[in-house]
């Protein structure tokens, strides 16, 4: 009785096994495709994380490598240049920060960088010895003076400035100074951790199929 029932149901059981295996193979193929797609996109995605990390340094004014190291503050400006000291360090026109981008990428790696000529000396620091060509410009001179103004009801002392200007001819200026390192691009444990987190999230998403 039992034996006869098993033999009778065997073809249906085989069909069920075949159908289940076919569905599992489809699911497996879909999973492999998702993982392969995720793997191929890792270098490009890592480059995006690295670019954002470097640009974040300009906003936070520091370098992060497992811990944060604040950029050295700029020296106090000369009289008449107070506004310059209120600017964020390495930010004037924004050219340097905007220039950081993905240079290239392939299946194995991605490269980010910048084509701004002065980027390396700011990023690495070091001694600067060069001769700069300075164009002609107008230089203003201020001289403080005081005078007394008399009104009908009072006498008032007033401080004023006399302004004069003269043309400075074009000339060469020798430079010899040490540029402090204000790193914004390079190897970083913090950046490595950010990339690893990104990869883990992407792979988890691919496995779940979400």
pLDDT 10s digits, 57-89 = 999 999 999 999 999 998 876 655 555 557 899
Q: How far from 24 is each of 16, 18, 28, 204, CA to CA, in Å? A: 12, 10, 6, 19
Ranges 26-40, 68-82, 88-102: which has the least confidence: 68-82
> How confident is residue 162, by pLDDT bands cut at 50, 70 and 90?
low
pLDDT number for residue 177: 75
Give yes or no for residue 38 having a pLDDT over 50: yes
pLDDT number for residue 149: 59
Q: What is the DSSP letter of 84?
A: G
> How confident is residue 4, by pLDDT bands cut at 50, 70 and 90?
very low
Higher pLDDT among residues 205 and 135, named by residue: 205
Ranges 2-11, 60-69, 106-115, 182-191: which has the least confidence: 2-11
Say if CB 175 and CB 11 are below 8 A apart. Answer: no
Give yes or no for residue 1 having a pLDDT over 50: no
- Can you read off the two tokens belonging to residue 177? 């100074």
Of 113-127, 146-160, 171-185, highest mean pLDDT: 113-127
Mean pLDDT of 16-28: 65
Of 28-32, 105-109, 167-171, 187-191, highest mean pLDDT: 187-191
pLDDT number for residue 20: 64
Give the predicted TM-score (pTM) of the model: 0.68
SS3 content of the chain, % helix, strand, coil (to 5): 45, 30, 25
Q: Which long-range contacts (CB under 8 A, 24 or more apart) does 92-99 make?
A: 96/58, 96/122, 97/55, 97/58
Give yes or no for residue 156 having a pLDDT over 80: no
Mean pLDDT of 23-42: 83
pLDDT number for residue 110: 92
Give yes or no for residue 5 having a pLDDT over 80: no
How many Cβ atoms sit within 10 Å of the Cβ of residue 180?
A: 13
């Amino acid at each position: 009785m039992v034996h006869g029932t098993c033999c009778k149901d065997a073809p249906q059981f085989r069909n069920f096994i075949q159908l289940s295996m076919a569905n599992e193979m489809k699911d497996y193929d879909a999973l492999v495709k998702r993982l392969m797609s995720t793997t191929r996109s890792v270098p490009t995605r890592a480059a995006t994380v690295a670019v954002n990390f470097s640009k974040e340094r300009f906003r936070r004014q520091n370098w992060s490598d497992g811990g944060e190291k604040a950029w050295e503050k700029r020296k106090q400006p000369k009289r008449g240049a107070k506004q310059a000291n209120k600017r964020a360090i390495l930010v004037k026109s924004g050219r340097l920060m905007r220039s950081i981008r993905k240079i290239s990428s392939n299946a194995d790696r991605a490269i980010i960088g910048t084509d701004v000529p002065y980027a390396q000396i700011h990023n690495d620091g070091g001694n600067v010895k060069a001769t700069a060509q300075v164009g002609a410009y107008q230089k203003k001179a201020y001289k403080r003076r005081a005078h007394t103004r008399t009104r009908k009801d009072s006498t008032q002392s007033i401080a004023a400035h006399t302004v004069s200007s003269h043309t400075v001819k074009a000339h060469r200026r020798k430079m010899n100074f040490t540029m402090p390192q204000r790193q914004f691009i390079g190897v970083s444990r913090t950046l490595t951790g950010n990339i690893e987190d990104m990869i883990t999230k992407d792979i988890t998403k691919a496995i779940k199929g979400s």
